[in-house]
Amino acid sequence: MKISQELMDAMVDQMNYELLSEFAYIAMASHLKKDGLDGFANYFMVQAAEERFHAMKFYNYINEQGGHAKIAAIPESINSYDSVLAIVEEALEHERRVTARIYNLMDIATKDREYATISFLNWYVDEQVEEEDNMQSMIDKLNRIGENKAAFYHYDEQLAARVFTPPVK
């Protein structure tokens, strides 16, 4: 194996965290679906599909580098929230945690002068900017909507249109 054990272990850990992210978003979708908010539920199911894509990208890279992509136990997701806003706020906090983890991986890869892995991780650095921005925009929109029920349900309808498109790279 070409890359250090420390870096490989951290990569495998991150693959598992992306799977945890997938489950966390399915749990959010499930809560929203139960409340009849099909558009919001769809949005988070698409988010979950993105997380699966992120995890499999790690899976493929770990294998290419001669590592073993071991699957860990996934802790229970949060299954209950007080409001839609609380869900999206947790999603933003979650994405911030992911960004910190990617930066930590980048620190190890930089210390190791592991340029191929730095290049691989750059995709996630860029992706996290979008992930955090999406959640922040949703929070801003929900705050603008406030107590306006018609605007809220209109937004729910709009979110039903989100589809998962696998990135080209």
Which residues contact ligand OFO by CB under 6 A? 18, 21, 51, 54, 94-95, 98, 131
Q: Which tokens in the block code for residue 6? A: 């420390």
What letter would DSSP give residue 112? T
Q: How far is the CB of 140 from ligand OFO (least distance, A)?
A: 19
> Both tokens of residue 50?
């993105």
Residues 51 and 97: their CA atoms lie apart, in Å, by: 14
Cα dist from 4 to 12, 112, 132, whole Å: 12, 8, 30
User: What minimum distance in Å lies between the beta carbon of 96 and ligand OFO?
Assistant: 10
Nearer to ligand OFO, 51 or 114 (CB): 51
Shortest distance (Å) from residue 162 CB to ligand OFO = 15
- By C-beta, is 31 or 54 nearer to ligand OFO? 54
Q: Which is nearer to ligand OFO, 95 or 114 (CB)?
A: 95
Of 66 and 167, which has the nearer Cβ to ligand OFO?
167
Which residue's beta carbon is nearest to the bound ligand OFO?
A: 21
A 10 A CB-CB count for 80 gives: 8
7 phi and psi, to 5 degrees? Answer: -70, -45
